[in-house]
């Protein structure tokens, strides 16, 4: 295909505005897949993605489109993950494009992630085509949304396309606009190879496969290539494109989007954002913007049955083959035994990994409460990064601590500004700015601890604004904060896996709430179980789980043996996700109880 007939584009949108549905329509309309092959949301291929309706891994598909001018075009649709956890991946996908469809829900208007995505697209100088989706709905107000796009984003929306990804309205117009308005890539086949990696995955047969956008040069089977950031050198065994299944081609040239497979066994060698060149005739400069991935959220993962430790390790290794952002290392807990400390990009990422371990690898796990990374400056002048509250040095060893803050952007209708301010203040947010998007919507920005976002900031925000608030955030910096470790003692014994790091002024309240919550969660046993919350040696709250009045089994004493067995079985069932800590059975819920305190 001649470069002038190639178009590389993404679809950007706030969650639920219809990105995946539109992608399906484009695939269908260009006849890339037959009706029989079409399954709703082709691009969201992982089961989990379909169930949750979100895109976790980006996918790419090449569409062939015969335009009204009679020419055939190659349209490469590069999907982007739709969640703040994956902002960097989104930015790399956009860097592989010349244009983007900006999808805005005609009944909702511009939301926080719409803005975040548009800003990113503008940073990459992309041609943006506004698409106002869901115009089939009775409550659609395309004129209002157009005005919002103009006023808030500053984009000309006069030729925005009115569409319904559901009913097919406007799809033809969108395809024509892609051809007419998005520039063809400009690269030079004769220059040294310069290709951007915007995704990678592990294939059991072909090894690691990198998704690439060629800026200059060519690549084909047999060439010796080099990753500029990792320095890894490899032989190309296959190049191809996505339809959407990978299909081998003889060569990829400048402007093309496709994949390259080679003698690579580890996704860590194939970093998103890295530049590929040839070893023989390398490009002098890599593409800008490369960044290593850094996990933001950590938690402990422990098998309920300690015999599953090796299976858990295998499963994590397998998942890591496809996920360079997942990190883990062995850790032991006095309470939970042998397990792993795992790092994730964010809470969604953590949830997804946990769910995949349970579903795909049939593991029963205990997950400890997520924690951010704290910077602990010690009195001896050294600084350590702590990803596990149990590892916090004693107060005597600590000079001061810092925690990560984010810049949070919240968009809400006017009426809820007060509510947003209250929640943000309660969560230690520092007010930064407020802008009117139109007469009845406002954008607020706050500087707020990441740990509060992880806890329940968004849940509370949603509930106090009746679901109207939309949130986006990005890591800002580390700031000193008065923090302490809140410990929980059961039967007088500290349970390391229940320790959390909390803001000092909130410690007493959180301690009381947590003890009360644990009292509800921990099942009664034959003996009384005292629950204590402590900061250092000071006990700040105390509750008791009372003992059973009667032995459950006493009922069947001397009686029906099968009934007794059933009762025991039922108890066992209930214990599935419990861990015996000393003589106390602790259910999974208890480890997450700290997240449930407001
Ligand atoms: P994404 O999160 O941006 O990928 O959004 P989806 O494509 O998953 O769509 C979110 C929801 O909106 C789904 O229930 C879709 O069926 C629905 N939807 C998408 N496009 C339209 C549309 O044009 N009209 C209507 N009525 N619903 C739509
Ligand atoms: Mg989607």
| 468-518 tens-digit pLDDT | 888 888 889 999 999 999 999 999 999 999 999 999 999 999 999 999 999
Check: CB of residue 210 under 8 Å from CB of residue 102. no
For 198, 232, 420, the CA distances from 195, given in Å and listed in that order, are 9, 15, 44
Residue 538 assigned as binding residue: no
Cα 80 to ligand 2 centroid, rounded to whole Å = 9
Q: Could you report the per-residue pLDDT of 54-88, keeping only the tens digit for each? A: 555 557 889 999 999 999 999 999 988 767 677 88
Q: Tell me what percent of the residues of the chain surpass a pLDDT of 90.
A: 60
559 is annotated as contributing to ligand binding = no
* Domains of the chain as residue ranges with CATH: 3-181 (3.40.50.300), 194-278 (2.40.30.10), 297-368 (3.30.70.870), 375-481 (3.30.70.240), 485-596 (3.30.70.2570)
Distance 419 CA to ligand 1 centre (A): 29
3-state DSSP call for residue 28?
A: helix
**In contact, 105 and 137? CB cutoff 8 Å:** no
The rounded Å distance from CA 21 to ligand 1 centre is: 6
* Dihedral-angle region of residue 456 (phi above 0 means left; psi in -120 to 50 means alpha; beta otherwise): alpha
**What is the per-residue pLDDT for 550?**
55
Q: Which pLDDT does position 35 carry in this prediction?
A: 57
Residue 205 confidence (pLDDT) above 80? yes
Report which of 39, 44, 42, 45 is spatially closest to residue 15, judged by C-alpha positions: 44
Whether the ω angle into residue 244 lies within 30 degrees of 0, i.e. cis, is: yes
Name which residue sits closest to atom 24 of ligand 1, judged by CA. 134
* Residue of 10, 12, 14, 18 to test ligand 1 pocket, by largest number of atoms within 8 Å of CB: 18
pTM higher than 0.90 for the full model?
no
Q: What span, in angstroms and rounded, lies between the C-alpha atoms of 76 and 62?
A: 4
Q: What value does the mean pLDDT take over residues 129-142?
A: 98
The pLDDT, as a whole number, for residue 294 is 82
| CA-based nearest residue to 218, from 254, 244, 265 | 254
In eight-state DSSP terms, residue 264 is -
Terminal CA-CA length for the chain? 58
Which whole-number Å values give the CA distances from 388 to 13, 307, 313, 369, in the listed order? Answer: 35, 24, 19, 10
Angle at CA 46, nearest 5°, toward 82 and 574?
Answer: 105
Q: CA–CA separation, 87 vs 120, rounded Å?
A: 9
The rounded distance, in Å, linking the Cα atoms of 275 and 294 is 19
pLDDT, mean over the chain = 88
Is residue 583 within 8 Å of 511, Cβ to Cβ?
no
Q: What are phi and psi of 563, to 5 degrees?
A: -65, -40
Distance CA 329, CA 349 (A): 17
pLDDT digit string, tens, across residues 366-420: 999 899 999 999 999 999 999 999 999 999 999 999 999 999 999 999 999 999 9
Give the C-alpha separation, 131 to 11, whole Å.
10
CB under 6 Å to ligand 1: residues? 13, 15-21, 53, 82, 133-134, 136-137, 164-166
16 is in an annotated binding site: yes
Phi, psi of 538 (to 5 degrees): -90, 120
**Which listed ligand is nearest to 21 at the C-alpha?**
1
Please enumerate in sequence order all residues whose Cβ is within 8 A of that of 18, keeping only pairs 6 or more positions apart, or say none: 103, 105, 133, 134, 165, 166
Quick one: CA torsion of 362, 366, 371, 377, rounded to 10 degrees?
-120
Q: What is the distance in A from the centroid of ligand 2 to the CA of 103?
A: 12
What sign has the CA pseudo-torsion 290, 291, 293, 296? negative
Answer yes or no: is 64 a known binding residue: no
Q: How high is the pLDDT of residue 549?
A: 64
Residue 598: DSSP 8-state = -
Distance CA(138)–CA(53), nearest Å, equals 23
Ligand 1 closest atom vs CA 55: 4
**pLDDT per residue as tens digits for the range 30-62:** 886 655 565 555 555 556 655 665 555 557 889
Helices and strands in the chain, H and E counts: 14, 32
Give the three-class secondary structure for 423.
helix
The dihedral through the CA atoms of 507, 511, 512, 516 has a sign that is positive
20 CA to middle of ligand 1, Å? 7
**Which among 12, 16, 29, 133 is the best mutation to test ligand 1's pocket, defined by most ligand atoms within 8 Å of the CB?**
16
pLDDT of residue 351: 86
Is 375 annotated as ligand-binding?
no
Task: Tell me the C-alpha distance between 241 and 249, whole Å.
Answer: 7
Please choose, from the candidates 64, 82, 62, the residue with its C-alpha nearest in 3D space to the C-alpha of residue 73. Answer: 64
ipTM for the assembly? 0.99
Rounded Cα distance between 276 and 344, Å, is 26
Could you report the per-residue pLDDT of 229-246, keeping only the tens digit for each?
989 999 999 999 988 788
Question: Which ligand sits nearest to residue 46's alpha carbon?
Answer: 2
Checking if the pLDDT of 552 tops 70, the result is no
User: What does the DSSP assignment read for 99-152?
Assistant: EEEEEEETTT---HHHHHHHHHHHHTT-EEEEEEE-TTSTT--HHHHHHHIIII
Is residue 401 within 8 A of residue 116, CB to CB? The reply is: no
Q: Which atom of ligand 1 is nearest to the CA of 137?
A: 26
Q: What is the pLDDT of residue 110?
A: 92
For 161-198, what is each residue's pLDDT tens digit?
A: 999 999 999 999 999 999 999 999 999 999 999 999 99
Of how many residues is the chain composed?
598
Element containing residue 93 per DSSP (H, E): helix 87-95
Q: How confident is the model at residue 566 (pLDDT cuts 50, 70, 90)?
A: low
Query: CB of 491 within 8 A of CB of 530?
Result: yes
Helix crossing, 19-29 with 171-181: angle to 10°?
A: 90
Q: Determine the pLDDT at residue 539.
A: 95
Instruction: Confirm whether residue 21 is marked as ligand binding.
Output: yes
Instruction: Ligand 1 pocket test: pick from 21, 39, 83, 112 the residue with the most ligand atoms within 8 Å of its Cβ.
Output: 21
Task: Determine if residue 136 is labeled as part of a ligand binding site.
Answer: yes
pLDDT at 20: 87
Q: Check whether 160 has a pLDDT greater than 90.
A: yes
Amino acid 298: pLDDT: 95
- CA-based nearest residue to 521, from 582, 577, 456: 577
- 73 within 8 A of 6, measured Cβ to Cβ: yes
Whether 370 contacts 592, CB under 8 Å: no
Residue 173 Cα to ligand 1 middle (Å): 19
Distance from residue 214's CA to the centre of ligand 2 (Å): 26
Q: Does 135 appear as a known binding residue? A: yes
- 28 neighbors 77 (Cβ within 8 angstroms): no
123 Cα to the center of ligand 1, angstroms:
27
């Amino acid at each position: 295909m001649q470069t002038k007939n190639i178009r590389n584009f993404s679809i950007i949108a706030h969650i639920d505005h219809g990105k995946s549905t539109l992608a399906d329509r484009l695939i269908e309309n260009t006849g890339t897949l037959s009706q029989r092959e079409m399954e709703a949301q082709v691009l969201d291929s992982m089961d989990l993605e379909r169930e949750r309706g979100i895109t976790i891994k980006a996918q790419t598909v090449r569409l062939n489109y015969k335009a009204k001018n009679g020419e055939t075009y190659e349209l490469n649709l590069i999907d982007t993950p739709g969640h703040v956890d994956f902002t960097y991946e989104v930015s790399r996908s956009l860097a592989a494009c010349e244009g983007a469809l900006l999808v805005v829900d005609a009944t909702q208007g511009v939301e926080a992630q719409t803005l975040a995505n548009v800003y990113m697209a503008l940073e990459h100088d992309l041609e943006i085509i506004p698409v106002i989706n869901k115009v089939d709905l009775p409550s659609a107000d395309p004129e209002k949304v157009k005005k919002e796009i103009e006023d808030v984003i500053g984009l000309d929306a006069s030729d925005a396309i009115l569409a319904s990804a559901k009913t097919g309205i406007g799809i033809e117009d969108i395809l024509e606009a892609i051809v007419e308005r998005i520039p063809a890539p400009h690269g030079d086949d004769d220059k040294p190879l310069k290709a951007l990696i915007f995704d990678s995955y592990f294939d059991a047969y072909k090894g690691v496969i990198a998704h690439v956008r060629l800026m200059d040069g060519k690549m084909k089977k047999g060439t010796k290539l080099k990753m500029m950031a990792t320095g890894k050198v490899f032989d190309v065994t296959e190049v191809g494109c996505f339809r959407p299944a990978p299909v081998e081609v003889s060569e990829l040239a400048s402007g093309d989007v496709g994949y390259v497979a080679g003698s690579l066994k580890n996704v860590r060698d194939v970093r998103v954002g890295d530049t590929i060149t040839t070893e023989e005739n390398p490009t002098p400069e890599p593409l800008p913007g490369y960044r290593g991935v850094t996990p933001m959220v950590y938690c402990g993962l422990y098998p309920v049955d300690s015999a599953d430790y090796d299976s858990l390790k295998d499963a994590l290794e397998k998942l890591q083959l496809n996920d360079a952002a997942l990190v883990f290392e062995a850790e032991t807990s006095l309470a939970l035994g042998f397990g792993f400390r795992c790092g994730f990009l964010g809470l969604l990422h953590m949830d997804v990994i946990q769910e995949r371990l349970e579903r795909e690898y049939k593991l029963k796990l205990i997950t400890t409460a997520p924690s951010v990374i704290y910077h602990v400056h010690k009195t001896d002048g050294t600084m350590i990064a702590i990803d596990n509250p149990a590892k916090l040095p004693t107060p005597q060893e600590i000079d001061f601590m810092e925690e990560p803050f984010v810049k949070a952007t919240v968009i809400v209708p006017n009426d809820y500004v007060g509510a947003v301010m209250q929640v943000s203040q309660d969560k230690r947010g520092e007010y930064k700015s407020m802008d009117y998007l139109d007469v009845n919507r406002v954008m607020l920005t706050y500087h707020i601890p990441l740990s509060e976002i992880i806890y329940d900031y968004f849940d509370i925000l949603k509930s106090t604004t009746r679901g109207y608030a939309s949130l986006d955030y990005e890591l800002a910096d580390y700031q000193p904060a008065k923090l302490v470790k809140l410990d929980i003692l059961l039967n007088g014994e500290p349970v390391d896996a229940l320790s959390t790091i909390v803001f000092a002024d909130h410690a007493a309240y959180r301690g009381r709430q947590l003890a009360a919550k644990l009292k509800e969660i921990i099942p009664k046993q034959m003996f009384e179980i005292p629950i204590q919350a402590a900061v250092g040696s000071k006990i700040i709250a105390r509750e008791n789980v009372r003992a059973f009045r009667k032995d459950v089994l006493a009922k069947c004493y001397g009686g029906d043996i099968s009934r007794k067995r059933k009762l025991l079985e039922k108890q066992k069932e209930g214990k599935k996700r419990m861990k015996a800590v000393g003589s106390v059975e602790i259910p999974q819920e208890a480890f997450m109880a700290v997240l449930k305190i407001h």
